[in-house]
Amino acid sequence: MKTLYTKMNSQGNDFIVIDTSSQNFEKSQENIIAISSSENVGCDQVLLIDTSQPDHVNCKIYNNDGSSACQCGNGLRAIMLYLNRKFSGSKSTIVICNKSYSADIVDEQRISVNLGVPTFSEITGEAFDGFNKLSGLIVDVGNKHAVIQSQNLDDILSLDQVHSFLAGAYVKSMQNDLNFTFIQEGTIRDNKNYLRIKVKERGAGFTKSCGSGASAAAAYHLIYNENVTKNSSVMIQQEGGVLEVHLTRMGQLF
């Protein structure tokens, strides 16, 4: 059976969007892996959406290894653009894992998503080469990110060592729902509104851009840099481009 899909890209974060309101799609792990493979269409995540009510859309997210996820910031922006192009709507509520996110078309260049108020828990561990101190926060923005400062984001081997160490210590307690966001150390010390990050997403690996990772990094920045205040914006640089994350006075992330 043929499946109609839309291929979308947000700063190098790659999606296959499938509207299940007008067709059936077998969401088995094998099927997700097959369609996500670079030998077929290829993507970081598959987004299954029900657009029966375009202003209130239910969504399921699957990583390219077939596992499910409960949040994807860039994916939410992609869905809002899809809804705008197909139904001409400028705002919608997108529901993932029983949690609602408000998405809006700001203008022709920007889409805003309210990720709500993040929660935090501390992590600590042994030191690794390339890290002055292996410490940070687990930031929950709908999905969980271990946010850690690094001296060198380009040293993938070192980042993978830290990922392996913390994954063994924390992933099981997080019900396997833990992503890793690495912040270039100098940027968090020297800037109040700019960070450079690299994200290793659960089920997808290192990606060129991650919206929830950018939001988690901005929330972390708010705590660790005394020059950052609420009701301000932080520009988050990733390989795929720059995302703007706004911190409201109420602590919400957009």
Reported as a single tens digit per residue, the pLDDT across 203-231 is: 888 999 999 999 999 998 887 766 666 67
Task: Output the pLDDT for position 132.
Answer: 47
d(CA 122, CA 118): 13
Backbone angles phi, psi at 46, to 5 degrees: -100, 130
d(CA 35, CA 41): 6
pLDDT at 27 over 70: yes
pLDDT at 1 over 70: no
| Range with the poorest average pLDDT among 20-24, 110-114, 203-207, 210-214 | 203-207
pLDDT top residue among 8 and 136: 8
Quick: pLDDT tens for 62-106.
Answer: 999 999 999 999 999 999 999 999 999 999 999 999 999 999 999
pLDDT top residue among 27 and 57: 57
- Structure-block tokens of residue 95: 């529901």
Task: Output the pLDDT for position 160.
Answer: 79
pLDDT at 118 over 70: yes
Task: Output the pLDDT for position 17.
Answer: 98
Q: What is the pTM of this model?
A: 0.87
Task: Output the pLDDT for position 251.
Answer: 77
E strands present in the chain = 6-10, 13-19, 45-50, 56-63, 68-69, 91-96, 99-105, 111-114, 119-124, 135-140, 144-150, 179-184, 194-201, 205-207, 232-238, 241-247
Average pLDDT over residues 158-167: 74
**Domains of the chain (ranges, CATH numbers):** 6-107 (3.10.310.10), 119-247 (3.10.310.10)
Most confident range (mean pLDDT) of 45-49, 114-118, 148-152 is 45-49
pLDDT top residue among 7 and 133: 7
| Residues belonging to the chain | 254
Task: Output the pLDDT for position 128.
Answer: 47
pLDDT top residue among 185 and 61: 61
Q: Max Cα separation, the chain?
A: 56
Task: Output the pLDDT for position 125.
Answer: 57
pLDDT at 175 over 90: no
Would you give the DSSP letter of residue 127?
Answer: -
Confidence of residue 249 (pLDDT cuts 50, 70, 90): confident
